[in-house]
Chains A and B, each alone.
Chain A
Amino acid sequence: MNRKLYKVERNFMGKGYLSYSATAILQAVANGYQYGFDIMDMTGLPSGTVYPALRRLEDLGLVKSKWEKQSIAQADQRPPRKYYELTRGGEAALAEAVKRYRLLEQTPALKPSKPTSERG
């Protein structure tokens, strides 16, 4: 078994299942919403929930973060943004959690909200 996966399962056992909001955030990341603000737009959750949840998910090894390439940020004259991706453990945890929160399956796949975020 993959080590990370094991860690996820242990955390599941130890801390109980992912909360609804954590699952929603994970789902949003899985659907390609990679930045904190986009995830807020997508899920409708406030920033005071999304950021701490992202940090916890990262500690659990369900998501990982990277800094945007300097060149892209420079072109926009702003600091590089931090974006989040699902890990393999995150995918497994999401699949598990979605079974519990059926409703989330109906979330649309990447559909640009008003302020389009650039990717890639």
Chain B
Amino acid sequence: MSSPSANGRELTFGEAIKEALAEELRRDPRVFMLGEDIAEAGTTFKVLNGLVEEFGPERILDTPISEPGFTGLAVGAAMTGLRPVVDIMFGDFSGLIMDQIMNQAAKIHYMSGGKLKVPMVLRTTMGAGRRSAAQHSQSLHAWYSHIPGLKVAVPATPYDAKGLMKTAIRDDSPVIILEDKMMYKTVKGPVPAEEYTIPLGVADIKREGTDITLVATSSMVYVALEAAQLLDEIGVSAEVVDPRTMVPLDKQTLIESAKKTSRAIVIDEGYEQYGVTAELASVIADGAFYYLDAPVKRLGAMNVPIPFSPALEDLTIPNAKQVFEMAKVLCGKN
């Protein structure tokens, strides 16, 4: 795992994101934020509290409830000299903004033969577990990753979230960052006070191991780490690899890890059907075929709209026990 020397300094996932935004807002006057209830309210998740006090309502801009309108406005602003960071409260609202993102933001640089640039960041949320039901719980990073021209990050730790956000804001292409809403307050980790960035397209090995590779994204990194703990108890050493960005994708690190361990499971909170797990599993199967002792397996969210009832919702998200059982079978330990 990339180990930040934070000298004991710890931030929550939400605090790390806010710190990244504040630093970039201070560094570059072209950066501004726009979204619903982001100023005084600090967003529904209270992640941005305090930014409007420092930067004012011109740079932390509350918009009408018009996701396509203000996302498209950001595209135009990005093309003409500003660097907007758009806040889309719930990733589920991606359906509303998709034309602005997939037909405009993603394509303008290419369609113009490189003449126009769209240096914008879209922050939105992903993840179930909040009892928010089917329209507020989806993880739609596969949608964005499907469209050429978009870079897509799914940070799992406060350290990664801060470093990737800062890089995203400085990138000249549109970058989508999906933040797991369950992690804002619950996940805490080391974040150095000194300036740092993390390049897009570099995976991180969150735990070293020798017997099986668990590729995990966003909150599933914690599920994989928990499963690795359980596997340890039965003598199986699991390596946990976090791609950190879906696009660009660090294929090499995934493949090298699978070559080393000869087995792999991919775990992601997006719907399993036609999802991120399929893509990553295919990369490993293709790149490490002759080193594998078992087929690459995958675990995504169940292919159902996320239910409200806690008794049902929890069943839809991959958990450590499932990963553990699957790994046991792959390693011949059942």
Q: Do A and B come from one complex?
A: no
Interface residues of B (CB under 8 A from A): none
Interface residues of A (CB under 8 A from B): none
